[in-house]
Amino acid sequence: MNYLYDGTFEGLMTAVYYHYKKEKADGIYELNSYQQSIVFQSEVVNTDISKAKTVSDAINKLISREAYIHIYYCHLSNAIDKENIILDFLIFAFKYGRNTMNFYTHEKVLPINEIYKKVAREEHRILGILRFSDIGGILYAKYSPDNDVSILLAEHFADRYKYEKFIIYDEKRKKTVIYSDNNWEIKENINIDNIEFSANEKRIHNLWKQYFTDLAIEERKNLNLQFQFVPARYRKDMTEFK
Amino acid sequence: MDDNLFEKLRILSDAAKYDVSCVSSGVERKNNSVGGIGNASAAGICHAWSSDGRCISLLKILLTNDCIYDCKYCLNRVTNPVKRASFTPEEVAELTIQFYRRNYIEGLFLSSAVEKSPDYTMENIYRTLELLRYKYNFWGYVHVKVIPGANSLLVQKAGMLADRMSVNIELPTKASLHLLAPQKKAENILQPMSLIHNEISRAIEDKSHFKNAERFVPGGQSTQMIIGATPDSDRTILNVSQNLYDKYRMKRVFFSAYIPVASSPNLPAVSTMPPLVREHRLYQADWLMRFYYFNSEELFTEIEPNLDLEFDPKMMYALRHLDKFPIEINKASYEELLRIPGLGVTSAQRIIRERKNAELSYDSLKKMKTVLKRAKYFMTVKGKYYGNTKFDPDSIKNEIRMKEIQKQISIFEFQGWGTHP
């Protein structure tokens, strides 16, 4: 049986629930991108919060918190076939329990570790290079990450800018984090056009650009190293490279 | 913000850029203040990378470059005809907040030339801190320089608001300091270092008794010295560092390759290139002392007081002590694993963890992404040696040289210049 889910983490966990409680899964796929198969039957999974929680709790309790976080990050990644990498891992992990994560290089565990590392690395990088602008008192940032890390950024900035209002816009996924008054929510299918900045805002952008340029030491110039840290694909949304 | 702010920022960031430390790590703090802005993340966050590949984490500026001293190695010495400028504490605070709100920076690193007197300058540094913390309610990371010779009460007050403080030791020895910065006294540098060290210890002690004990420089203190302006050897430099780590519990000792800015009979010629490779080797050695259980003396021989420029210090250590190698990956302790050239802390931890399940094979090391290009000459896996060369220093060196040439790797493509903890 191929289970088709709605792309949410809870949906994925519900599909895992069905694998154990209903019928063994041959695979789990996102409904939107699923190509009908001649060999396998398919069934659409209705996301069910309490079934999802049963699976999440089991992962935390029987495997480990570390495994749970790894799976969660994997689910946010852009890796092809991540659902089945997660499913394979869980089948292995529920057998080996608390010892699972010590099998770092096992073929069922290694992919999870590698994907996790990629997503975590991008998350950390974006925490630094996301750029906000002040639009009439609201802080606004636009970016296009490889992985769907918006939800990971929300907590960080909600604490840092607790008494501000901010919007983080993932242009690639048309997904938006909106924060004000201690609350953040994620809205999908939103289009935000290019925004005009006020004269004062442009002044601050220019101050930053000037500072950024002046700080480089000519005698130590190393553009390759700079590209390693800030790959070209991120630069279009960074004030200092505009 | 008026328009000469651009001019001031240009002058005062240009003067600060040679300062090495830009680290924002070591403090974890939530935004707990009503109406406050900012928090601190223990791992530190880099926000931008300038075209020299250095990380920008903090807004690194001087309060003023208007200096009463005449240190030979410094651009801002009183006898050098450069443009002078001074920020007001208000300007620095406002700029910090505006940059911080846009996520350009993790906080502020405020340094200064000595304007009028050490007390006058330190007072202004303190006022900036006070404005940021109390008027702007800013709880992001702040690192301030201590001006040697300033009243210790000012230093103490600043320490209660800053996350990190540093006093520059400037040069490795008293003799060098006397030669190049005759107005600076070694005692004036060591005295605030020791004050900060004592206050930090006291704050930690207090915290174990009282919940609301005053905090004092929770990110610890650091210092920096200039490399290559004086003939001091690497051995001297690292022994001084070791001493600073031991005696004052320094978080970091930074090295700054001297970039010739002035001609003086006591300084290297202006045409000299900054000793970047040497600086890199010193950082590697410093790393070995802090995370790899090496003692500074283990890195040198009786006849050679400088680090090798071609090979890294751990590799040179291993080549001098081949009798202790090769090390069996499946049996070695954590400390022994760390002695293997090219093998880092992460790999060593991973090896220890993974071999609990089953003996490791060479292939599983590769899967762990362990970098083996140097390590393989100094280890065995299940008793087998994978070095594919004779086990003597020259053969190993030659083998690595050949591989390096094949790959055309530039020694300048290293990472971590003042960026990591």
What is the structure's pLDDT at B264? Answer: 82
Determine the average pLDDT of the residues in B34-52.
Answer: 91
What is the structure's pLDDT at B21? Answer: 66
Q: Let me know whether A6 and A101 are in one domain.
A: yes
Q: Is the pLDDT of residue B380 over 60?
A: yes
Classify the C-alpha dihedral A122-A124-A125-A127 as positive or negative. Answer: positive
What is the structure's pLDDT at B419? Answer: 40
Who has greater pLDDT, B370 or A107? A107
User: How far does B267 lie from chain A, in Å, by closest CA?
Assistant: 18
Determine the average pLDDT of the residues in A87-115.
Answer: 93
Determine the average pLDDT of the residues in B81-107.
Answer: 96
Across chain B, what does the average pLDDT equal?
Answer: 90
Determine the average pLDDT of the residues in B236-264.
Answer: 91
Say if the ipTM goes beyond 0.90.
yes
Which helix (H) or strand (E) covers residue B13, if one does? helix B4-14
What is the structure's pLDDT at B38? Answer: 92
Q: Which amino acid is at A63?
A: I
Q: Let me know whether A137 and A84 are in one domain.
A: no
- Final residue before a domain boundary, out of A121, A149, A169: A121
Instruction: Provide, as residue numbers in chain B, all residues whose Cβ is less than 8 Å from the Cβ of A139.
Output: 101-102
How many domains, chain A?
2
What is the structure's pLDDT at B19? Answer: 72
Q: Let me know whether A195 and A216 are in one domain.
A: yes
Instruction: Provide, as residue numbers in chain B, all residues whose Cβ is less than 8 Å from the Cβ of A111.
Output: none
Domain ranges, residue A71: 2-121
Instruction: Provide, as residue numbers in chain A, all residues whose Cβ is less than 8 Å from the Cβ of B408.
Output: none
Q: Let me know whether A139 and A113 are in one domain.
A: no
Contact A110/B55, CB-based, under 8 Å? no
**Domains identified in chain B and CATH numbers:** 4-299 (3.20.20.70), 313-407 (no CATH)
Contact A225/B53, CB-based, under 8 Å? yes
What is the structure's pLDDT at B412? Answer: 45
Q: Let me know whether A193 and A237 are in one domain.
A: yes
Q: Let me know whether A93 and A167 are in one domain.
A: no
Q: Which of B89-98, B251-260, B360-369 has the highest mean pLDDT?
A: B89-98
Q: Which tokens in the block code for residue B223?
A: 């210092």
Q: Is the pLDDT of residue A189 over 70?
A: yes
Banded pLDDT at B411 (limits 50, 70, 90): very low
What is the structure's pLDDT at B2? Answer: 60
CB A216 within 8 A of CB B52: yes
Q: Is the pLDDT of residue B407 over 70?
A: no
Instruction: Provide, as residue numbers in chain B, all residues whose Cβ is less than 8 Å from the Cβ of A224.
Output: 53, 413
Q: Let me know whether A93 and A201 are in one domain.
A: no
What's the Cα-to-Cα distance from B246 to each of B197, B204, B205, B250, B295, rounded to whole Å? 11, 17, 19, 8, 11
Q: Let me know whether A97 and A146 are in one domain.
A: no
User: How far does B192 lie from chain A, in Å, by closest CA?
Assistant: 29
Q: Is the pLDDT of residue B201 over 90?
A: yes
Percent of chain B residues past pLDDT 70, beyond the cut: 95
CB B139 within 8 A of CB B31: yes
Q: Let me know whether A78 and A163 are in one domain.
A: no
Contact A217/B18, CB-based, under 8 Å? yes
Contact B48/A128, CB-based, under 8 Å? yes
Contact B102/A132, CB-based, under 8 Å? yes
Residue B337 backbone zone (phi > 0: left; psi -120 to 50: alpha; other: beta): alpha
- Final residue before a domain boundary, out of A87, A121, A155: A121
What is the structure's pLDDT at A142? Answer: 97
Q: Of A91-95, A135-139, A202-206, B19-23, where does mean pLDDT reach its minimum?
A: B19-23
User: How far does A123 lie from chain B, in Å, by closest CA?
Assistant: 11
Q: Is the pLDDT of residue B402 over 80?
A: yes
Contact B55/A229, CB-based, under 8 Å? yes
Of A139, A222, A228, the CB nearest to B52: A222
Q: Which residue of B has its CA nearest to A137?
A: B101
Q: Let me know whether A107 and A143 are in one domain.
A: no
Task: Tell me the three state secondary structure of residue B71.
Answer: coil
List the single best residue of A103, A220, A226, A237 to mutate versus B (max B Cβ within 10 A).
Answer: A220
Q: Let me know whether A62 and A167 are in one domain.
A: no
- Final residue before a domain boundary, out of A89, A121, A153: A121
Q: Let me know whether A112 and A150 are in one domain.
A: no
Q: What is the C-alpha to C-alpha distance for residues B327 and B383, in angstroms, rounded to an integer?
A: 9
